Structure 1
Amino acid sequence: MKKIYLFLLFGLLLAACAKDDDKQPILVTDIVMPAAGTVFNPGDKVTIKAQGFQTDDDVMFEIYWPLPDEPVLNYQGYARGVLPVMLEQTATSITFLAPGHYPASTTKILLRRAGDIMTLGEIAVSNGQAPEEFQLYGITNSHSDTGHDNCIEHVNLTDGSPKNIVKLAEDQKDFSCVVNAPESQRLCGIQTKDGVRKVYCYDLSMRYWKDMGLENILTLCNNTDGSIIAVRQISSNEVMLASVAPWIYTREPNLSHRYELPAGIKPEALTRYPGIQSSASQLLLSADNGNNSFTPVVLNLQSSKVHVGEQIQATALIPFWTITDKKDNGTTKYVRTGGYAIVKTDGQTELRLWDQATMTLKEPFATFPNPARSITMLAEDTETLKLYVLFDTYRGGRLIYAYDLVSKDWQSVPGIGYSYSEIVMAR
């Protein structure tokens, strides 16, 4: 009997120790969470009140969501250690943006101080995931020359109707060279602040702007794996590459090369259009020489070599990427390649691929009677390969057509009179 009592006593001691270990430190008191039942949208402001917040406190999220494939087992997806976008932190409150990019979730808010962690409470957040399909966005900026408000809009590809996403402030009006890292739900472009070209990204899920901390940027380029590369000026005739998008794991090309631009190519000539990575070793850029003249500029990603193509008499030279097929031992393979949209001085647009072996432009594979302003690629599968092109008209306003690389014809996007200077596919 004594052995049984000793065993029970030992068990109670272990339980007491376990409870002490689970007990959280009290870092703040009088916590006031948002009203029960409130469901926040990603990017909504959330304020938690309490007494005793300190300036060196850190806030973290633990995000949990149900897995619909396993409802009976009640499995949950989760993300831990997520850092919030903080707006304000005082001794009596913290304010942050509700997290985005996740399914509808329960988000636990944790306060960390010198190694101690306290749970403040939980909030409900609605779905903030990227849409399953790519979406088309139009950017009206200071280069648009239409008199419309500077803004970012979503274009409905079914009926062509635009939906305002965000208005550009006065110091954002030149937001340009816009690209997207797929699934990031971010539009990244260049803004000039105090005379310095910097990279800013707009988060489509959380609806806020982020300064990416990169300066003296000439243009942005889409990498073959979906990441974003910035071309940064480092001297009067030299550039280097820098990574922009840390949201996805990628194998980036060597970014340590310094590229010396040849005489006649000024760094500022590379600022008009976004560039693209054509293959594993080539980055296609466009140099505006002025006087209706452009030059293809190709950076070798495996060395410091710069190739300058023949000067072209044109009013625009816009890099684009696309997918082409080729036969290999009877098997069809699809490969990414690059090209340029050339607007001739008579206003006609030619779409031409770049020959990576000869370092020259191939003959046009498509033409259009109007001058192009911007071009973006949609590649969902081998049956959905389209180049969307924004064209000027001669009656004011602009229109959008898609060149279907499978059926090899032009397809109109409903609507006319678009004010955009750029379009971009994103998700």
Structure 2
Amino acid sequence: MQGNAVEVWDKFFATHTPQPIEFHAPFKAIFELKDHEGAIAFLEAAIRHGQGRTWMYEVLPLEMQLAERSTDDIERAMLSRSDFRTVDQSSMMLSAAYLVRFQQLPRALHLYRQASSLNPARPEPYALGLRLAKKLKDNDAVQWAALGILSHVWTTDHQLLHRQAENALLDLEQELSRVGKTAEAKAVAEKMAAAKTHDMQIILRWQGEADLDLIIEEPNGTLCSLQHPQSPAGGVLLHDGMGPRQTETYEEIVYPQALTGTYRIKIQHVWGRVVAKRALLTVTQYKGTDSETTKTQVIALTDEETVVRVQLKQGRRTQPVTISAVPHMARPPVPVRNRSRIVQASAQGRQARDDFLRTRRLAKPGGNRRAGVGYQPVISVIPEGSSLSASAVISADRRYVRMRLTPTFSQVTDVFTFSFLNTGSGN
């Protein structure tokens, strides 16, 4: 039966070139009969004769699995899907997730490593790769993924990911020492220490029911701020704080690898009362190295922004970072507040500020009141399946109509929970 099906479909696709929509009817008939071998013959014949479609490369491994084909055959089918698609980091990540679904973990790990080589600053390959590397007990891959997390992963949950990476490296170092590989264990420890170094760290602290903003103007003219949480110069906004809770009244920006040059640190008093109208600015350069220096200065706040210049002489970054189109940090929409500085010199401005703060307070039992922040959920719809958009243009003499058809085929293969470059946790 299998041989007949192969011959029939080979002959059909050798002499016919069906339109994309014409593939569906015969394949649906085969699928409803649960003829997995017939479905495989249909799909392989279409691909052999240059008439493959994206959905065929996704369905073929599933049919092979149902037909109980060998693991090697299923793996080849899944890898051919990667060859069919455009070779970029996103397609590699999707293909790797597809491989994980079929328990092809070594191949998936290989694709994660390839994806990270295309854009080393993107965190997902390292976070997902570490999970697979530990499951496969691949020490080389564990080292690659853990060092990548420590160097490149700065999402909202980076502290947890960094702790997991450090634990993985410490376990690896201990295992190497136990089997007598002292030199290799020492090399792992040195690499971990190097991965944890920062070219520059900037922290602004204050006290009071207020909000200050930290904006860094970088040597190449770009900015790192609340509106630009990841910058081409290598900066990452780790925390955007506001009062009255003292544990939240700080802003932090880190440069794991920064461009050499002059950085203009701008401090803006957005709203509220700051205790003593003073803030504390701490700048640490070359953190974790023998050249580490820390400078702290008191900033007198005014209605105008305060600017502090810092010179970084030995930044390790030589090229700007490629910023993903997806936002870096998972944060809700900015709370409804006037970020254009409601604090004004006039009495009218101060009254407006106080009225604004009163509208943001929530009553608590016992008469205590504290500032509250409202959040608005943003729901995104991910389309799945087949869709077709069409547009028509009529000629001037009204004799011809030119049609433009754009078919789209999409499928959600798996859903992972991890943090994006510039987006935070995706669920």
Q: TM-score, normalised by structure 2?
A: 0.26
Q: Which has the higher contact order (CA 8 A, sep 6+)?
A: 2
Larger strand fraction of residues: 1
| Higher radius of gyration, 1 or 2 | 2
Higher helix share: 2
TM-score (norm 1): 0.26
